[in-house]
Structure 1
Amino acid sequence: MATIEPGTERSTVLPGAPPYTVDDLLKFPDDGNRYELFNGSLLVSPAPLPLHQRICFRLQVILTDAAPPELEPLATVNLRVTDRDFYIPDLVVVPTNLVESVGLMFSPEHMLLAVEVGSPSTNVRDRILKTEAYAEAGIPLYWRIEPDEGPALYVYELDGDSYDPPAVFKAGAVATPPAPFPVSFDPAELVRRR
């Protein structure tokens, strides 16, 4: 365990004051943290763990291989929902024709699928807050991957203005989750070594 000598602590001074807006967020320093907004409240996450990155990469490859040319999986994009709601999903599927033209931020209507990979610092946020926020934003599909469960894939489908209870796909069996295009994989593939 690293120790910090008194007087050597570093702190980040953030511009603006709560409640924050997306414009405030754009002025934040690039300090390695992931900054998101929920109704103007700041959500801060550290850089993801290596297992988290492996899962995101493997899922992006699986989705890319299955996607038709008009759809494209992308990692960690900016999603502006409102002036005070801003998220960075771990993975999304969007129309390919938007990739070169969208600019800095996507809108909810661009999202066909949003994916979050659970981690100790974001579990509650991904299970509750983002499930509600993505449904309210009208994102038709939300996948949540829980690494500690084998991993397990939780699939939420939009029904009106909320998600139905999730379908759960466990490691060790081939999952055929609802997606913007046909795809099938064993969730265990997401954590296997190369």
Structure 2
Amino acid sequence: MGAAQTTPQCGRPTEDTWMFAPADGWTYDQVKHLDLPFDWELVDGVIRVRGRTKLWHNHVRDGLASALSAARREPYQVVAGQCVMVDDRNTPKPDLIVFDPRKLDFFELECVPVDKLVLVVEVASPCSRQDDRVRKPALFATCKVPCYWRVELDRDQRLAVHEYWLNADTRTYIPAPMHPVHHDKLVTEVPFPVEVDLEALVGF
């Protein structure tokens, strides 16, 4: 009989053992060296595969990144697909983040500390919709990130941007009071004034 496969309890996983997390989960320092053939993030100590995205998703993400970068105010910066350090067992990778880079080491930083974020943007796709609607808003609200946008494509292939603001007392997100859902054009003053033509982000 062949040797039984056991779950590693310490040390660093390999490309063959990453899926067998120890009882208390992997830490980011244990897994950050992995060269895996897919995009991933660490959720409660478990490596979670990030699903493939369609062209519209990436086009919209990049268009929003450009609009936010053009409108940003000092000291904020905008970056796509960067991991966020919530704690050593949770390093989510939002589609976009706006953050304060002051006192961060630009050349050495791997994950942006969650307390530096002012906005998280998630472009929902079928494989991420539940996470983007429930798990990630709860996580980032608990961490006191001031703003959260969820971008979805409706049945008519029109964009809807759901804008949320943090209720600091309850550490939950509430719909933005003036314009909770943006269609055709996104206009908001937080985290800084920005106006985005949403119709122009879909199609070519």
Shorter-normalised TM range: 0.7 to 0.9
- Amino acid paired to 2:172: S
Residue 147 (structure 1) aligns with: 153
Match of 1:158 among 144, 166, 178: 166
Gap change, CA 1:108 and 1:67, over 3 Å in 2: same
- Give the Cα–Cα distance (whole angstroms) in 2 for the partners of residues 36 and 42 of structure 1: 6
Asked if the contact 2:41/2:93 (under 8 Å) is kept, the reply is yes
Residue 87 (structure 1) aligns with: 92
Asked if the contact 1:69/1:96 (under 8 Å) is kept, the reply is no
Taking only the aligned residue pairs, the percentage that are identical comes to: 28
Residue 26 (structure 2) aligns with: 20
Higher helix share goes to which structure? 1
Structure 2 SS opposite 1:87: coil
Asked if the contact 2:91/2:111 (under 8 Å) is kept, the reply is no
- Give the Cα–Cα distance (whole angstroms) in 2 for the partners of residues 169 and 99 of structure 1: 35
- Give the Cα–Cα distance (whole angstroms) in 2 for the partners of residues 55 and 180 of structure 1: 19
Offset, 1:73: 1.1
Which consecutive unaligned segments of at least 5 residues does structure 2 have?
Answer: 1-14
Gap change, CA 1:122 and 1:103, over 3 Å in 2: same
Residue 7 (structure 1) aligns with: none
- Give the Cα–Cα distance (whole angstroms) in 1 for the partners of residues 141 and 108 of structure 2: 22
Gap change, CA 1:140 and 1:104, over 3 Å in 2: same
Structure 2 SS opposite 1:103: coil
Is 1:177 the counterpart of 2:188 in the alignment?
A: yes
Q: TM-score, normalised by structure 2?
A: 0.79
CA deviations on 1:59-104 (whole Å, 9 max, x unpaired) are: 0111111112422211111101011111011111112544726611
Offset, 1:24: 3.0
Residue 60 (structure 1) aligns with: 65
Is 1:191 the counterpart of 2:202 in the alignment?
A: yes
Moved more, 129-138 or 95-104: 95-104
**How large is the Cα RMSD of the aligned pairs?**
2.1
- Amino acid paired to 1:182: P
- Give the Cα–Cα distance (whole angstroms) in 2 for the partners of residues 192 and 86 of structure 1: 32
Q: TM-score, normalised by structure 1?
A: 0.82
Asked if the contact 2:162/2:175 (under 8 Å) is kept, the reply is no
Q: Quick check: which has more Rg, 1 or 2?
A: 2
Offset, 1:188: 2.0
